[in-house]
């Protein structure tokens, strides 16, 4: 089985992507970046999701000599001109503080009425091979932002985005239900046949 490195130390993401790629029929041994503690984290200096995903994938492929996959994703709010966008994970100032990010965003949108609370999750998924070859695909999940968080599944902004056509938030969906419609699911399902083709 071919080994594939996922450029994240986030156990939620590793589990989510293992499930998505497995459901897409891809037979790979997926490991997270924490399997390579000597490899430093990559500064996300890009100005788009795709640029950041490629930076991470190439850095890990070079450091490990293995094919590497990375994603960069975030929440893009219509009335904020697409923000927090690439700054989603550090919107409140400290990287990865989901609760603070959520509370700050809700406070910023507290006076915004339902018809204007449109938003989408965006994801760019990148594959980089040790020889420098690369591919990027993108996925999206549109919805509306709730005024209060709901649900205990998921992470990040999942408790406040209610996908179009649903009456619950992403955090109220089971992991399988969320993967079936999510931005990350869409991107990695599109990446799966590319991986199959390139990895054999």
Residue numbers annotated as active site? 72
- Residue 162 and residue 151 in contact, taking contact as beta carbons nearer than 8 Å: no
- Give the span between the Cα atoms of 145 and 161, in whole angstroms: 5
Residue 110 DSSP class:
T
- Give the span between the Cα atoms of 180 and 163, in whole angstroms: 12
- Residue 49 and residue 122 in contact, taking contact as beta carbons nearer than 8 Å: yes
- Give the span between the Cα atoms of 71 and 51, in whole angstroms: 10
Nearest to 73 by CA among 153, 17, 132: 17
Nearest to 178 by CA among 149, 145, 151: 151
């Amino acid at each position: 089985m071919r080994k594939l490195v996922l450029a994240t130390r986030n156990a939620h993401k590793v589990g989510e992507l293992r499930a998505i790629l497995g459901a897409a029929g891809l037979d790979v041994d997926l490991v997270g970046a924490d399997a390579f503690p000597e490899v430093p984290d990559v500064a996300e200096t890009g100005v788009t999701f795709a640029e950041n995903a490629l930076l991470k994938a190439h850095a890990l492929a070079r450091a490990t000599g293995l094919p590497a996959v990375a994603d960069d994703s975030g929440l893009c709010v219509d009335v904020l001109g697409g923000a927090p966008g690439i700054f989603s994970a550090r919107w409140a100032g400290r990287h990865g503080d989901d609760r603070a990010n959520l509370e700050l965003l809700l406070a910023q949108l507290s006076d915004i009425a339902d018809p204007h609370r449109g938003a989408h999750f965006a994801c760019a998924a990148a594959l980089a091979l040790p020889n420098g070859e690369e591919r990027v695909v993108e996925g999206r999940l549109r919805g509306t932002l709730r005024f209060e968080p709901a649900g205990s599944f998921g992470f990040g902004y999942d408790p406040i985005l209610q996908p179009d056509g649903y009456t619950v938030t992403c955090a109220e969906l089971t992991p399988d239900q969320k993967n079936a419609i999510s931005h990350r699911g869409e991107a990695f399902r599109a990446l799966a046949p590319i991986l199959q083709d390139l990895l054999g």
